């Protein structure tokens, strides 16, 4: 089953205690789409500038990603510069140039409008809502992400969106901000009352918690000797998770748990190198191998 | 099989965002011993002052804890006052009165010297080492804890001790401090080269990582709606773990993993109330029930 993703395609400049990378491929939709493409075909909606190199487009196309919805606008592609602290759970944005992304209004090509799996990566919740209005068939699963910027600045739009979404994928700080509660369990209960049937709370190197009305699932992050670049880990997590669910077409609790582990596996590879580099060589066999390592990491 | 624990018995005054508790039973050996006592008999070595109330001694005795090694010294019992931040992973020590603990030199009664399971709770590593010298029979398992104070202030003594210890139970900050490395996986590798065959890294609300030369195990903490008082969680974790290992007399990797989950279960109860209060009513059935909840929390 195919997956629609709407989000950003960007160039990132990334500074970490272990090295830097300049003007490398980034953006929520890029990470999501490439991660999901290991499992199922992806249809991408995003905007790029005239400066977007042909070889990056070719890379995305080579990954079974439909680029009909990738529009080219006059101007430069979205740029982001971020600096990670010694504690790589923390980062600062040093520079943000929205460029063509500033006026992005997602438009779904007709062939995208009946996608059974939909992921609304982090953009203005009003725009995320507008994507749903363009769908002609009720999807099997609508999932979305958001960030503090919208939780604080576009609360009514976000609340309207959450009523239409089955799965919310955010980090622990965002969960606290939405719920107004420091405790993650109470936060989850409050957020589940706002619409989503499943809440996934990403906790970086500490893994993921998944909450649904009758179940809690916890999976640790894969313990790595080197984390080069945490950028995109969350979107890759969501990509592999939704990819796995779309491929298996099974939204049972047990299968969602498996998907969460696949998401954790792919995210653990992504952070091993800058940008999407690790995904340029990663194979499905590599993913299966680390999935089995997750089993032995957690079984008792 | 019986367990020897050497450590502190104290009175704690605890300030948290949710309330305070004054002069309540605390100390590493108290938490460890009571947690372990759900599984196996415990022999306690610690010192108390003349002010230690008879009913607290009776409580410990009622838990199948041998108190022959609990010596009474002239003066007051050890006092600690701590204040937890809004983020309860962080706390400050507001007051510390060592009192009789200042001159504590652990002496094992003859009946304690052949204990097959030994836990050296956090005290001066030179004293921990001295406890091992008093053993007449080589134990099946020697485990210990330590804190930043000794890692920074008694490094040679600590390194000598680690050569004699099979299992080290510390938190992530202490692991970083011993290894000089921020990354927990590399830290673990370095620490395992210093002596211990198993390193347990406690990460508070994020659970526990266990490292041995050929295996890594990760278990999340039980997600709680209310954490009242994290004091003693680590010692209770160690107590239930060693208690389970002593009761089953099985140090296989698979059984150590089960023990780590029992440790996590008991720690999750301890933080639900101040001091050891929750353990005063907790039953073995409660423990088994939450153990099964850990299975459903983590299985995929």
Q: At B27, phi and psi to the nearest 5?
A: 100, 145
* 8 Å CB contact of A220 and B227: no
- Looking at residues B216-240, what average pLDDT do you find? 96
Read off the tokens for A196: 């989503």
pLDDT over threshold 90, residue A89: no
A299: confidence class by pLDDT, cuts 50, 70, 90: very high
Q: What CA–CA distances, in Å, run from A49 to A21, A22, A56, A70, B145?
A: 20, 17, 13, 10, 57
- Residue B217 sits at the chain A interface (C-beta within 8 Å): yes
pLDDT over threshold 90, residue B102: yes
Residues paired with A78 in a beta bridge: A10
Chain B: nearest CA to A112, how far in angstroms?
32
- Residue A223 sits at the chain B interface (C-beta within 8 Å): yes
As a whole number, the mean pLDDT across chain A is: 97
Among the listed ranges A38-42, A84-88, B79-83, B239-243, which one has the minimum average pLDDT value?
A84-88
Among residues of chain B, what percentage have pLDDT more than 70? Answer: 100
Residue reference for tokens 């991660």: A35
Measured between CA atoms, the residue of chain B closest to residue A86 is: B182
Structure confidence by residue, pLDDT tens digits, B242-296? 999 999 999 999 999 999 999 999 999 999 999 999 999 999 999 999 999 999 9
- Residue A41 buriedness (CB in 10 A; 0-12 / 13-18 / 19+): middle
Measured between CA atoms, the residue of chain B closest to residue A190 is: B225
Measured between CA atoms, the residue of chain A closest to residue B204 is: A206
Read off the tokens for A232: 């995109």
Quickly count: other Cβ atoms within 10 Å of residue B280's Cβ.
13
Residue B47 has a pLDDT of 98
* 8 Å CB contact of B300 and A185: no
Pick the CATH number of A3-7+28-45+106-298 from 3.40.1050.10, 3.40.1390.20, 3.40.1190.20, 3.20.20.70: 3.40.1190.20
- Residue A180 sits at the chain B interface (C-beta within 8 Å): no
- Residue B89 sits at the chain A interface (C-beta within 8 Å): no
CATH classification code of B3-298: 3.40.1190.20
Residue B168 has a pLDDT of 98
Structure confidence by residue, pLDDT tens digits, A257-273? 999 999 999 999 999 99
Contacts of A206 in chain B (CB under 8 A): 203, 206-207
* 8 Å CB contact of B260 and A184: no
Chain B: nearest CA to A257, how far in angstroms?
6
- Looking at residues A269-288, what average pLDDT do you find? 97
Non-local (6+) Cβ contacts of B45 within 8 A are B4, B5, B6, B7, B29, B69, B70, B106, B107, B108, B112, B131
- Residue A226 sits at the chain B interface (C-beta within 8 Å): yes
Q: Measured between alpha carbons, how far is A88 from A226 in angstroms, rounded to an integer?
A: 11
pLDDT over threshold 90, residue B87: no
* 8 Å CB contact of B299 and A257: yes
Which residue of A189, A209, A297 is in closest CB contact with B216? A297
A87: confidence class by pLDDT, cuts 50, 70, 90: confident
How much is the ipTM here?
A: 0.94
Residue B241 has a pLDDT of 98
As a whole number, the mean pLDDT across chain B is: 97
Q: Measured between alpha carbons, how far is A240 from A267 in angstroms, rounded to an integer?
A: 8
Q: Measured between alpha carbons, how far is A271 from A169 in angstroms, rounded to an integer?
A: 18
Residue B147 has a pLDDT of 96
Q: At B211, phi and psi to the nearest 5?
A: -120, 135
- Looking at residues A17-27, what average pLDDT do you find? 95
Residue A284 has a pLDDT of 97
- Beta A78-84 vs A65-66: how paired, if at all? unpaired
B88: confidence class by pLDDT, cuts 50, 70, 90: confident
Which residue of B218, B298, B299 is in closest CB contact with A223? B218
Contacts of B179 in chain A (CB under 8 A): none
Structure confidence by residue, pLDDT tens digits, B189-212? 999 999 999 999 999 999 999 999
B159: confidence class by pLDDT, cuts 50, 70, 90: very high
Contacts of A189 in chain B (CB under 8 A): 225
Q: Measured between alpha carbons, how far is A242 from A235 in angstroms, rounded to an integer?
A: 10
Residues paired with B198 in a beta bridge: B167
- Residue B245 sits at the chain A interface (C-beta within 8 Å): no
Which of A187, A219, A220 is the best mutation test for B, with the most CBs of B within 10 A? A220
Q: pTM for the complete prediction? A: 0.96
* 8 Å CB contact of B219 and A300: yes
Which residue of A86, A215, A223 is in closest CB contact with B209? A223
Q: Measured between alpha carbons, how far is A29 from A44 in angstroms, rounded to an integer?
A: 7
Q: Measured between alpha carbons, how far is B42 from B243 in angstroms, rounded to an integer?
A: 8
A88: confidence class by pLDDT, cuts 50, 70, 90: confident
Asked whether the beta carbons of A265 and A285 are under 8 A apart, the reply is no
Beta strands in chain A (DSSP E): 3-6, 10-16, 19-26, 42-48, 65-66, 70-72, 78-84, 91-97, 117-120, 141-144, 167-171, 198-202, 208-212, 215-219
Measured between CA atoms, the residue of chain B closest to residue A260 is: B300
Distance from the Cα of residue A48 to its chain's centroid: 18
Asked whether the beta carbons of B213 and B197 are under 8 A apart, the reply is yes
């Amino acid at each position: 089953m195919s997956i629609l993703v709407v989000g950003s395609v960007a160039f990132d400049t990334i500074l970490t205690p272990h090295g830097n990378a300049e003007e490398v491929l980034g953006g929520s939709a890029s990470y999501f789409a490439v991660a999901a493409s290991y499992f199922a075909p992806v249809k991408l909606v995003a905007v790029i500038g005239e400066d977007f190199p042909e070889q990056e487009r070719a890379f995305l196309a080579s990954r079974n990603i439909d680029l009909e919805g990738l529009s080219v606008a006059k101007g430069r592609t979205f740029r982001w510069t971020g600096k990670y602290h010694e504690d790589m759970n923390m980062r600062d944005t040093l520079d943000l140039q929205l460029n063509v992304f500033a006026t992005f209004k997602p438009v779904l090509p007709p062939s995208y409008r009946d996608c059974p799996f939909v992921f609304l990566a982090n953009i203005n919740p009003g725009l995320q809502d507008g994507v749903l209005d363009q769908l002609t068939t009720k999807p099997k699963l609508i999932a979305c992400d958001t960030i503090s910027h919208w939780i604080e600045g576009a609360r009514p739009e976000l609340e309207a969106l959450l009523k239409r979404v089955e799965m919310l994928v955010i980090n622990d700080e965002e969960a606290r901000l939405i719920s107004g509660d420091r405790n993650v369990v109470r936060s989850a209960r409050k957020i589940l009352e706002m619409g989503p049937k499943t809440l996934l709370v990403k906790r970086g190197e500490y893994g993921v918690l998944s909450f649904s009305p009758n179940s809690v699932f916890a999976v640790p992050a894969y313990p790595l000797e080197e984390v080069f670049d945490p950028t995109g880990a969350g979107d890759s997590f969501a990509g592999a998770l939704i990819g796995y669910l779309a491929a298996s077409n099974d939204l049972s609790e047990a299968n969602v748990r498996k998907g969460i582990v696949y998401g954790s596996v792919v995210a653990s590879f992504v952070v091993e190198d800058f940008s999407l580099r690790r995904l340029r060589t990663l194979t499905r066999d590599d993913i299966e191998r680390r999935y089995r390592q997750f089993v032995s990491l957690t079984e008792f």
